[in-house]
Amino acid sequence: MDNAGKKILIVEDDQFLREFYQELLQEEGYIVDVAADGEIALKKITEGGFSLVLLDIMLPKMDGINILKTLKTSPAKTPNGPVVCLTNLGQDTVIKQCFELGAEGYLIKSALNPDEVLVEIKSYLQKSSPNAKS
């Protein structure tokens, strides 16, 4: 289980959640970068090189849907791994739109405890690298 060198971008405007995910993932050995609004997020995602992007849908300046739309027309300089949307319950139409725009999955923020978050993240990372050892 070698997480070293795997870069994860957390795009989340809620400071508590952002720091929570950051700490959780850093303790597992991941390299973590964060963005608190859509404009910063888009800049970082466009630079690329992330193994995984956790993208909140509701963001200041530019929401997650618009970020995904922009990435469809102007891909990252260095390819990124899967984009996983962070949503709240009851956003089914939004989740459907995320998949249509290229997201690989979603996490419902209110429904997952820290261990479940890690399990989900590991499974997305394994899907993205076919020769990953579990």
More confident residue, 51 or 130: 51
Q: What is the pLDDT of residue 37?
A: 97
Buried b (16+ CB within 10 A) or exposed e, 71-107: beeeeeeeebbbbbbbbeeebeebbebbeebebbebb
Q: What is the pLDDT of residue 129?
A: 61
The mean pLDDT of the chain is 90
Confidence of residue 3 (pLDDT cuts 50, 70, 90): confident
Domain 7-127: which topology? Answer: Rossmann fold (3.40.50)
Q: What is the pLDDT of residue 133?
A: 42
Residues 6+ apart with CB under 8 A from 62: 37, 38, 39, 41, 42
Whether 76 shows a pLDDT value over 70: the answer reads yes
